[in-house]
Structure 1
Amino acid sequence: MKVDILAIGAHPDDVELGCSGTLAKLMSEGKTVAVIDLTQGELGTRGTNITRAEEAAEATKIMGYVNRENLKMKDGFLSNSEEYQMQIVKMIRKYQPEMVFSNSIDDRHPDHAKASKLVSDACFLSGLVKIETTLENENQQAWRPKHIFNYIQWKHITPAFVVDVSEFMEKKIEACLAYKTQFYDPNSNEPMTPIASKDFLESLTYRAQDLGRLSGVAYAEGFTTEKLIAFKNFDGIIL
C-alpha cells in the first residue's frame, strides 16, 4: 500500500480545503495519494459524523485518492499523546509516503495546530527502529517520510513556497463542495457558522488568486515546511 503522498487532516474536509489543488496536480503527474482523517468531525455545528463520512467518500471519488481512512480520534480534544502518536505511526508505516501533508501550524481551530505537531512527532517516531508496531497481525518496518509540508487554512500565514494549481482549481472547488452540509447554501436551515458563510466559500478562490498574484500565476496553494528545501535545479521555478 505504499504511496507517494500521505495527506492528513484533523477533520474530514481539511485536506480538500487546504491542499487538494496540489494533490490533484501531483496525481496528474502520476503520484499516488492516500488520506487520513484523524477525527470524524463530530462536533461540527452542521451535519453529523454520518454525513461527514458520506461527504468524505464523495470527495475521495472526485479526487481519486487510492485510499482514505478515519482514525476516529476525539474531535475537539486532539492531544499529542502516545496513544494518538502510535495510531499515526502505524499509518505512516503502512503507507510509507515520501511526503506528508498536514494541518496548518497555527489556526483558528485548536485541533489544526495540535494535529500539525502530533503528525510531525509521529513522523519522527515512525523512523525509530526500536519502536515496534504491528498492523493486522503483521510486524511493520520503521519508515520516516522525507518531507512534511503544512498547508495553510483559516489564518493568514506567509508560505515558505507555493504551488501553481491554476489548472486544478475547478477540481479543488468541486471536492470542497462535496461537503455540502458544511458550506454556504442559501436554502439551508442549519445554523450559520464561519465556514458556512458566502465569504468563506468565495475565499477559497480569492485567497488562491492572491497567492497566484504574488507568484505570477493564476491560482496557487501555499505551504510551510519544517526543514530547508533544496533545489537540484531551477527548472520548476516559474519566472
Structure 2
Amino acid sequence: MAQILVIGAHPDDAEIGMGGTILKLGAQGHTVTLLDLTNGEPTPMGTPEQRAKEAQEAALVLGVERRITLPLPNRYVMDTVENRKMVAEVIREVRPDYLFIHYWEDAHPDHVAACRLCEAARFYGKLTKTDMRGEPFYPRKVFHFEAIHYRLYLKPSFIMDISDQIGRKLEAIACYRSQFNEARGTAALLQTIKDINRYWGALIRRTHGEPFVCREEIGLAGLDALV
C-alpha cells in the first residue's frame, strides 16, 4: 500500500479538491496524511481555535489520522528557500509515494505559490549534505487537484470516480462551519462543489468525479483500474 501526502495552502483546500479521492484511497488501504501550509487565519469569520477544530473534524470524516499544520502566513504564502526546506522536511518524514498539491493556475496567490513551493520541496527532499532533518526522499509522482478560483477548464490526466464518496466529501467540507454558512453567503458553495464534481463524473459516465493533472506521463500496468 502507498503513502500519500496531500498538501493544501489552507484548511478545506484538500477537502474541496479531492475529499472523495482521500476517502477512496483510505478505504483501499493507503495511508493518507494531510498537510496544511497555513491555519487559514486571518479570515473574515472564525478564530484560529475554531479553524483548528473544524480541520480535525473534517479529517475524522475523511478517515485521516494525521493532519499537520505549518506556520506559514495565510494570504502571504511564498515560495522561499526556508519554506521549501520546511515542506521538504515533512516529505522526508512522511516519505510519501505520491504527492497531491494545488494546480498551478489560480487567481488565489497562495494556491499558485503553494504549487511552486511544493514542487520545489519535492526536489529538496532528496538533497544530501544539508541541514534539513530526515533522510533524503523523492516522491514518485506529483498530482495536481482542482481547488481553483478561476472559472477555468483544466485538462485532466485522469478523473477519479467518487460516486460512492460524494456524500461524505460534502460532509467533510461542511465541518468548516465558519467558512460555509448563511451569514457569509457561502452555504450555496457546497452545492456548487457538488455540481462541479457531477460534471467531471459525467465525463467518465459516473455520477461524480474529481480531476487530477500530472506534468509527467502516467504509465499503466494494465486495464483493471479503468472505468
TM above 0.5, one fold? yes
Q: What is the alpha-carbon distance in structure 2 between the residues aligned to residue 45 and residue 233 of structure 1? A: 49
Q: What is the alpha-carbon distance in structure 1 between the residues aligned to residue 157 and residue 21 of structure 2? A: 15
2:212 is matched with: 223
Q: Is residue 151 from structure 1 mapped to residue 145 from structure 2 by the alignment?
A: yes
TM-score with structure 2 setting the length: 0.94
Segments of 5+ residues of structure 2 without an aligned counterpart are none
| Deviation (angstroms), 1:45 | 1.8
| Bigger mean CA deviation after superposition, 18-27 or 153-162 | 153-162
2:72 is matched with: 73
| Residue pairs, 1:142-181, within 5 angstroms | 142-154=136-148, 155=150, 156=152, 157-181=154-178
Counterpart AA for 1:133:
M
Segments of 5+ residues of structure 1 without an aligned counterpart are 135-139
Taking only the aligned residue pairs, the percentage that are identical comes to: 31
Offset from partner CA, 1:174-232 (integer Å, 9 cap, x none): 1100001111x33x3xx44xxx151x221111111111111111110001112111111
1:119 is matched with: 118
State the secondary structure of the residue aligned to 1:73.
coil
| Deviation (angstroms), 1:104 | 2.1
| Deviation (angstroms), 1:38 | 0.3
| Residue pairs, 1:78-89, within 5 angstroms | 78-89=77-88
Give the conservation status (yes or no) of the 8 Å contact 1:161–1:223. yes
Give the conservation status (yes or no) of the 8 Å contact 1:21–1:221. yes
Offset from partner CA, 1:35-61 (integer Å, 9 cap, x none): 110001113222122211110011111
TM-score with structure 1 setting the length: 0.89
Among 171, 195, 202, the residue aligned to 2:191: 202
| Deviation (angstroms), 1:75 | 0.8
1:24 is matched with: 23
Tell me how many residue pairs correspond in the alignment: 224
| Deviation (angstroms), 1:132 | 3.9
